[in-house]
Structure 1
Amino acid sequence: MYFNYYLLFCVLNFFTAVRSIGLSKHQINSCVELFEKYKGSNNEIPRMRAIKYLLDLGYRKLSEIFPSKENVLNDRTVSEFLVFLADQDKTSDHWEEKGLTTYEVKLFVRMFDAHDKKSVHDGLLTNDELVNLFDKDLNLDRDAKEQIKNEFINDDSINVPKFLAAIVKHKPEGRGLDKTQIEKCFALYRSHLSHLITRAQNELLQTLHIVSDEYKNLLEFEHVRSAAKELQEFLVFWAEYNKGVDDNAPLLTSRQVREYIWKFTLHDQDKDGVLNFSEFNQLASTYFPGEDAELILETSYDPDNDYSMSAAMFLYMQLTIRSGHRRM
């Protein structure tokens, strides 16, 4: 019997925080290590061992997560499991830690599964299948692709965790965000909408040319969090994959984007994904000592978004400060 994902949903009731940033490098590598321990058992991970893995990731009260002792986690079911983990909020946010955003986890898992289904659908790729995936359909940085392929030169049993681990190990840092890039991301957000503007988001993702034309549909992502929270992760993803940054203009590096998003979440005390006036007022003295926070709000907050500061506006503010200006 396959891993019961419906019952896994009960885990959501026991998280102690409401933040998510996909999967960290540590989380992905721990999954690889888990499968390595069960190589001699058809890569089938027993009920109690899978529960311990979830506990190590920050999940709690999992005694009822498997309805029977026959449930296992294996190569065929791990794809859905990893997407599930990436989607869920965790007890630590990992904004500053190297990892894959939810967008990346879903995209790379979908691409892996698409190539797996072209032959024997066993949850594994051979080395030839992996090379074909990168050479034909996944348009990552050339050096990164070669380094990833070199990880599996003598391996004809590549599962999804190992695939993601190699990508996160070798993926470039990205070019960051300039003013125009931040504005592109901000254009997807409206406070009165429950999620980012789907059509505009899809059109923006198409411009990245991450996948071949045959797999453009893999860039259509469902919305699992509020628009404000989803925007935070989209900014990180866009910083690491967009190629249209103006090198002659002020910009935030990808690392700075992650750092500022992390700081933004610390100031967001009610965890609704935006900074209201009260939350901003507490940090205004840090960035604008001796100045009137209310006056600053008039130039930094967006009246079309309920006078709340989104993560994009926060990055815009940081970029403005770093470029030597006092107002946006």
Structure 2
Amino acid sequence: MGLNKEQVKEIVDLFKKYKNCADKIAPQLCPRRNNENSDFDYDEDRPNNRKVKDLLVYMAGKDKPLDDWKLQSISSIEVQIYVGLFNKFDPWFDYSGLLNYDEVKNVVKALTLEEDVKKQLVDEIRKIFKVLMKDSAEDSLIFTTSETMSAPYFLMAFLKVKPKGRGLNKHHVQELIHFHKNNKINGDQIDPVAISKFIKKLSLVQEEHEDVLVFDSRRKTPFQLQELLLVLAEYNKGASEENGPVYSTDSVRDLLLHFSNYDVDKNGLLSKEELKKIQEPRYQIEDVDTTFKELDTEDDEHLYITEFFMAVFVERDRKNAIKD
């Protein structure tokens, strides 16, 4: 589900408390299980603030207590992109995981945000540097100095200005269903190369920086599709009422929340029995059996989030046709 404002704030607060020491932060965010080591693994020889970036990527892809579909967040895909850009602009002779003000501005320039959003983001970054300068003056032991910033602070600034996006129409959902159907690997995963191509089409970064669009295939398909659906709602350029009804990004989040609530066994899918229990009028399907027959493309008696979203569109079209 990525990282929301509260989660990023918690991480930043831990950085301040432990002077950016990843070795002390990791156990707080990734508790030990059965007296074993934390399930977060990182290279012991990496510089401290590069470990911190590894930790951000890890946390963005994990289920966490404060996860909430209704809250504005940065997806795990975006976190990987921003960490990749931080690595790219980290000077080769330094490679500390920290960027100075001009280097952070280069990260902003590498993004394809609207110019007014970029300006707002730079303004937020400038405010954070002023705070870091004050903290540095008060406590000379703080690892993040007034001249540098670590990746979590960038995420905190970005969450304050991140646009909601245009939302989704029926065509976008059909596109994602087709994408899933043609890019399955290892039984329950999506080809990471295909994910990179999918994100590339959304133009999150400038063309010369598309080398950071590299993703792994650890996430199971049902949950990967949920995240891709939200990213598509936030970054597609073509959602328009001219091409049919559009669900706003807030509505997409609302639907994801309802889907998750009715997913009793938490496998990322809805069974026919789970679908029949939906009480929310906007998402009720009158003829569940017919819907499954029409939209269960995997023929497995389950609906992925994309199929469920399509069912909502189909039901809406059906009701509108009856009215007409």
TM-score by length of 2: 0.79
Contact 2:269–2:305 (CA<8 Å) still a contact in 1?
A: yes
- Alignment-derived partner of residue 175 in structure 2: 184
Q: Assess, with a 3 A threshold, how the Cα gap between structure 1 residues 72 and 36 changes in structure 2: closer, same or farther.
A: farther
Q: Which runs of 5 or more residues in structure 2 are unaligned?
A: 130-146
Q: Using a 3 Å threshold, how does the CA distance of structure 1 residues 287 and 247 change in structure 2: closer, same or farther?
A: closer
In the TM superposition, residue 159 of structure 1 has moved relative to its aligned partner by 0.7
Distance 1:112 1:87 in 2: 19
Q: Aligned-pair distance for 1:37?
A: 3.5
Please say if residues 75 and 159 of structure 1, whose CA atoms lie closer than 8 Å, have aligned partners that are also in contact.
Answer: yes
Deviation at 1:256, TM superposition (A): 0.9
Tell me which residue corresponds to 1:302. 296
The answer to whether structure 1 residue 94 and structure 2 residue 78 are counterparts is no
CA contact (8 A) 2:285 2:315 kept: no
* Contact 1:138/1:210 (<8 A) preserved: yes
**Percent of aligned pairs with the same amino acid:** 30
Are 1:44 and 2:21 matched, yes or no? Answer: yes
Q: How many residues align?
A: 295
Partner of 2:11: 31
SS at match of 1:266: helix
Question: Structure 2 vs 1, CA of residues 122 and 296 (structure 1 numbering), >3 Å: closer, same or farther?
Answer: closer
Matched with 2:270 is 275
In the TM superposition, what are the counterparts of 1:143-292 in structure 2 within 5 Å? 143-153=116-126, 155=129, 156-190=147-181, 193-248=187-242, 249-283=244-278, 291-292=286-287
For residues 172 and 276 of structure 1, the distance between their equivalents in structure 2, rounded to whole angstroms, comes to 34
User: C-alpha distance in 2, partners of 1:290/1:117?
Assistant: 55
CA drift at 1:289: 7.4
* Amino acid across the alignment from 1:275: L
Distance in 1 between residues matched to 2:157 and 2:285, nearest whole Å: 49
Work out whether residues 113 and 123 of structure 1, in 8 Å CA contact, stay in contact via their aligned partners in 2.
yes
Q: Is the 8 A contact 1:188 1:197 kept in 2?
A: no
State the alpha-carbon separation in 2 of the partners of residues 321 and 173 from structure 1.
26
Cα deviation, residue 173, structure 1: 0.5
1:250–1:323 contact (8 Å) kept in structure 2: no
Superposed CA RMSD in Å reads 3.1
Q: Aligned letter for 1:189? A: H
What SS does the corresponding residue of 1:237 show, helix, strand or coil? helix
- By how many angstroms is 1:189 displaced? 1.9
Tell me the equivalent position of 1:54: 29
Aligned-pair CA distance for 1:185: 1.4
Q: Quick one: distance in 1 between partners of 2:32 and 2:125?
A: 35
CA contact (8 A) 2:193 2:215 kept: no
Q: Is contact 1:138-1:212 (8 Å) kept?
A: yes
Give the CA deviation at 1:64: 4.8
**Residues 273/44 of structure 1: CA separation in 2 closer, same or farther (3 Å cut):** closer
Take 2:87 and 2:196, find their aligned partners in 1: how far apart are those partners?
21
Match of 1:4 in 2: none
Q: Which stretch shows the higher mean deviation, 270-279 or 189-198?
A: 189-198
Matched, 1:122 2:96: yes
Q: Post-superposition shift, 1:273?
A: 1.6
From the superposition, tell whether residues 302 and 290 of structure 1 become closer, same or farther in structure 2 (CA, over 3 Å). Answer: closer
